[in-house]
Structure 1
Amino acid sequence: MSDNYAKNLADLVASRVARVDAAAASGPSDAERGAAIDALSVALAGRRRARLRGRVARGLGVFAAAAVLVLVGSALVSRPHASTLVLRGHPTEGTQATLSDGTKVPLVDGVPVLEGSRIDATYGRVDLSFATGTELSLESHGEVSVVGAGKTQAFRLDRGRLSAHVAKLGEGERFVVRTGDTEVEVRGTRFVVELGPKLACAGGTETRVTVSEGVVVVRSQGTEARVQAGESWPACTDPAPPAPPPVVRSASAAPSSSPSSSPSSSPHAPEAKVVASAAREPAEAPPSSLAEENALFQAGLAQKRAGDAPSAIATFETLVRKHPKSPLAESAHVERMRLLANHRDPRARAAAKEYLARYPKGYARGEAMDLVGP
């Protein structure tokens, strides 16, 4: 029976490729044929592993693999320019790609992810790899859609955090990541796009971009900015709310024992001027505080990129301790929590609890809940 299953699977893939030939005059690309062959290899490998779990489990495993191939083959027929994006690395049980027609395809190593697919990292991080060498990592609870897989490789980040290491592109090729309000285009670089709270200082954008290698172009709200390695976009941070204007009683309103006393002769007039001057001084403090907050955050990111996790953790801790109400405080909490989790530091769970206590509806709530556990 095992030989028949293998033969049937091979016949199925061959028939799907033949249907692509009939549907498109130019015929399928080598990449598409390769993707189908890769999918067959995955299915057969899964079948061999299933044999060790018994005849019943083997039959179910082969049936599931055949179902994947049917879905892949059908999508190739309806979409001649299929994506060559291939899942690798961290396929977690339950991870699926949702095709443009709503069909859900289980993702396992080596199965192609087609243009028009939506990937939801509900069950953990998902790593993706193009045949070109470009690598993407969608963090837990993130969601990304493949909107272009030809000469323009385009993705739409709908939720969470997407890291990209883009291989050098050929002539006429483009690599683009879009969010609801921003487009990021690169030509061979390493960068991160993340969605977070809106920044009033940058037109209310929810997008953050951090570049660790190369240069990216960020387009948002009719403007274009170049962001180089070591820089972030937007460069601004929301300032602290302005201090209320000082309430200072004027010299003329000061109590006087003599109704005929003039403001210039009133003993309270000089005192009122001193009070007004002193009250204005704190209003000038926020700019220097914001500069320090931004410097600390950028220093933490630089240490993280350099691989110095202990220093980065300490820097983010300093920021949230000295400036707990900073607009960067939430991001600093998240960076610290992620660093602790990535290095399996036992403090990660406590950091996640602290984040949830401070930001119960924060943008990294899903990650924090995963760390806290049941």
Structure 2
Amino acid sequence: MRREAQESKALRKLATGVVEVESQGELDRRRERLVPKLAMAIDRASRLEARRRQIRRVATVVALAAAVVLIVGMGWSAWRSGSAPRESEVAAMRVESTDGSVIVTHDGREAPAMSRALSKNDSITTAEGARAVVRLASGTSLWIGPSTQLSLGGTTGVRDEVTLSAGYVEATVPKLGAEASFEVVTPDTRVRVHGTQFSVRVQKSGDGIKTDVRVSEGVVSVLHGGGVAMLHASASWSSEDAIAERRDTEDRDSPEMTGEGVRLTVEDGGAFYDGGEGARPVTAGGTPAEPAAIASTHSSLAEENAAFQRAMQAARAGQDERSLALLNEFLARYPRSPLAQNARVERFRTLARLGRSDAASR
């Protein structure tokens, strides 16, 4: 109670007392002291806020840069590991169109094709009723039929090779340079292109398989069983027929064989045999031929195939000098052989590998 009385007395004194008023000069001096300090405080606060905004902007830029580096790093790692196509291959090889279920296998992983880029060693599988169109670096266009398994082997844009395990593929090949080539490899046949349009089919035949080749334009060479057949426009070839023909040839070459039943024809400077019941042997000019002449020509064809294959085997074994010597010998002995053009192309490639391209014209 006493404390409350004291507080009440003090308040009454303040209420009735006289409040001293500062002089104008004192107020001016106080203002002069406070205003600069307030200005400095406001300026300091502004600069601090500007610095905070700059720090936030830098932090945002750094975060974005880190994200870009991370993404680029992941892409580089994928490129290095082979899980993504190389830039040159992206621009060069791709699935142009699909119809139905088409699967591309890349590094063991399967994905729908859908106009995607392709890499070397990718494989393409079409389901029943499905189709796809693929373009290679060389400009070669592949029309892939239903139920087909195709692998892009050594596709480099200069020397392209695809492997057809099953199904059907039709290739349209632009005119190739001297060093360029395109081949379709099947389980039993190798088809080499010389700038053309052709198709290859692999299908079951009894307990095995057979390869069928049909040429629409240009020329292709078919390597099968150690022999080579040249196919021109509108021509077709079957490995099944080739095996049967080889057996017939072996029978005709037996000691009991006579000249009857064989017809000799000449195409592009090379001699070929066609069986015909009761047909008389003829020469290239259409005059009757002696059985000995037929046997001699057949022997020459076999020798040409064997000589060319020896040169190819040496090249595959990395023996370029030996391959070159065998090719030179082949061209000197058989300048009009159906295989002469193949031999000239292989000779040019061998000289290029040996670093002697300037000698190719000689």
Q: TM-score, normalised by structure 1?
A: 0.41
Select the structure of larger CA radius of gyration: 2
Which has a greater percent of strand?
2
